[in-house]
Structure 1
Amino acid sequence: MATADYTKKVVLVTGGAQGIGLGIAQAFAQAGGHVVLTDTDEEAGQEALQRLQARQLTASFMPCDVSVEQEVVSLMQKVEEEHGQLDVLVNNAGIADPFIGNPDEMQMSEFDRVLAVNLRGPMLCAKYGLPLLRKSAHPAILNITSTRAFMSEPDTFAYSASKGGLEALTHSLAVSLAPDRIRVNAIAPGWIETGPWQKEKNRYEPQHTRQDKEQHPVGRIGEPQDIAEAALFLCSDKAGFITGQHLVIDGGMTIKMIYA
């Protein structure tokens, strides 16, 4: 899977215990990096750590709620104490369920929580990870957004707003951090099947219909590895002339015209 060499590099993946985050973490570890997983689900985090170590991969787990400033401060302090460096920050943590109900029925606390994790969290990680990233020879930040930043279903406005904000934060940080040689890019995943990448008690075998697959011009549902391969490239020296950009990875779903 490795498309770049991350030997002797430290990679922090937020929300790295399950799903796309775990797929990304495994890819960086297979490419030689020491991966620091962080997540609010400690059970999932320990399982993920065991999963990687069973493959003879180098990783560690540090629990953290990225929406809480002091927890992010402590996280970065631990990374510095244990590793002394940070080369890649992958802001993947997020509340994944996009449905929040009708605007007149939802609680504003629900809306605030989604934005706190999905948008405030990446900003906090960038802010407090900055001193460590500045020490790296080739630092990179990667934000995991969503195609819902550009299109929506009903009642997904909190999630869509958070991911749209993260898209804007990506290009803003890219310009702001350019003097520090820190490149900042984003990946916007479409439908990615994460069933096999959940913690054991939530794991399931995907069952996709023909219609599910045919919604995608490539003829299949996405997998975490599809996102991970792009992440390896965008955070590597091979992408040294790319910053402030977003890459949509959705099997072509968002470019297919649908007539009701």
Structure 2
Amino acid sequence: MRLEGKRALVTGAGSGFGAGIARKFAAEGAHVICADINGDAAREIAAAITGTPVEADVASGASVDQMLDAAGPLDIVVNNAGITHLPMPMEEVGEEEFDRVFAVNCKSVYLIARKIVPAMKAQGAGAILNVASTAGLSPRPNLNWYNASKGWMITATKAMAVELAPHGIRVNALCPVAGETPLLSSFMGEDTPEIRAKFLSTIPLGRFSTPEDMGNAACYLCSDEASMITGVAMEVDGGRCV
């Protein structure tokens, strides 16, 4: 019960890593607000963990404000929602797709921070966790703008950590390798045994990240056990970045 009595918001909680983090947090005693652009998915996860569902588009300022008003006071915020573009040469990614990747992966962190940071400053405590990616540390070809968005998130995490530390607010990031999530086929271009084998050959431990892996790492960084840890980008990648 490492998060007993805590209120946590997890974006993108309807599936994949977000669902794994939400389940772990609930198992450790937190009340979890499960936010997702897919309202049905948010409600399904929230029902399973006795949490609170919220349908929200984290790329929209108005939607984020409504989400956070509905969430109420928060001790923990996990910026997990994210998207990618399909693998292709950088110059072939359309402007609209580029804008959407940066709106969901980057602008969302700003939109949420501007709303929750004043409240966390007032209470003198808080934990913010940004789900980045190994793509921000060791980029793969043909995912250029997705790589860049995750590199932005890692730098934002460190900048936030330095600025907010005097207020008792810790900010960290997780950098998973690709996992069994709805985005996996988008990362690989297509999901075939051959492409999976090639992808897995770059991960020393020989498997993808799982929602459970992410939940365990997120729980640690957001718990009081990590009270001296801020500004880190923890790799949960089976050795991918070694």
TM-score in terms of structure 1 length: 0.82
Counterpart CA distance in 1 for 2:93 and 2:127 is: 37
Per the alignment, residue 206 of structure 2 pairs with 219
Per the alignment, residue 232 of structure 1 pairs with 219
Counterpart CA distance in 2 for 1:249 and 1:190 is: 7
Q: Over residues 185-207 of structure 1, what are the superposed CA-to-partner deviations in whole Å (9 max), with x where a residue is unaligned?
A: 00000122237xxxxxxxxxx97
Q: Does structure 2 conserve the Cα–Cα contact (< 8 Å) formed by 1:73 and 1:128?
A: yes
Q: Over residues 100-153 of structure 1, what are the superposed CA-to-partner deviations in whole Å (9 max), with x where a residue is unaligned?
A: 533333321111110011000011111111233235464100000000002223
Per the alignment, residue 55 of structure 2 pairs with 63
Q: Over residues 155-214 of structure 1, what are the superposed CA-to-partner deviations in whole Å (9 max), with x where a residue is unaligned?
A: 21121111000000000000111122100000000122237xxxxxxxxxx979666655
- Inter-CA distance 120–211: structure 2 relative to 1 (3 Å threshold): closer
Equivalent positions of 1:186-225 (< 5 A) are: 186-194=173-181, 213-225=200-212
Counterpart CA distance in 1 for 2:215 and 2:15 is: 13
Per the alignment, residue 114 of structure 2 pairs with 127
Q: Does structure 2 conserve the Cα–Cα contact (< 8 Å) formed by 1:100 and 1:110?
A: no
Q: Please list every run of 5 or more consecutive structure 1 residues that lacks an aligned counterpart in the other structure.
A: 196-205, 256-260
- Inter-CA distance 135–114: structure 2 relative to 1 (3 Å threshold): same
Per the alignment, residue 199 of structure 1 pairs with none
Q: Does 1:246 align with 2:223?
A: no
- SS of corresponding position for 2:18: helix
- How many residue pairs were aligned? 232
Counterpart CA distance in 2 for 1:223 and 1:136 is: 33
Per the alignment, residue 17 of structure 2 pairs with 20
Q: Does 1:43 align with 2:40?
A: yes
- Which of 94, 102, 105 pairs up with 2:82? 94
TM-score in terms of structure 2 length: 0.88
Per the alignment, residue 172 of structure 1 pairs with 159
Q: Over residues 62-105 of structure 1, what are the superposed CA-to-partner deviations in whole Å (9 max), with x where a residue is unaligned?
A: 1111111111111111122xxxx20000000111x342533333
Q: Does structure 1 conserve the Cα–Cα contact (< 8 Å) formed by 2:140 and 2:147?
A: no
Q: Which amino acid aligns with 2:212?
A: Q
Alpha-carbon RMSD across the aligned residues, in angstroms, is: 2.1
Q: Does structure 2 conserve the Cα–Cα contact (< 8 Å) formed by 1:212 and 1:221?
A: no
- Which of 31, 34, 45 pairs up with 1:34? 31
Percent sequence identity is: 37
Q: Does structure 2 conserve the Cα–Cα contact (< 8 Å) formed by 1:8 and 1:33?
A: yes
Q: Does structure 1 conserve the Cα–Cα contact (< 8 Å) formed by 2:124 and 2:167?
A: no
Q: Does structure 2 conserve the Cα–Cα contact (< 8 Å) formed by 1:99 and 1:159?
A: no
Per the alignment, residue 198 of structure 1 pairs with none
Return the index of the structure with the highest Cα Rg. 1
Q: Does structure 2 conserve the Cα–Cα contact (< 8 Å) formed by 1:11 and 1:33?
A: yes
- Which of 79, 96, 107 pairs up with 1:109? 96
Q: Please list every run of 5 or more consecutive structure 2 residues that lacks an aligned counterpart in the other structure.
A: 183-191
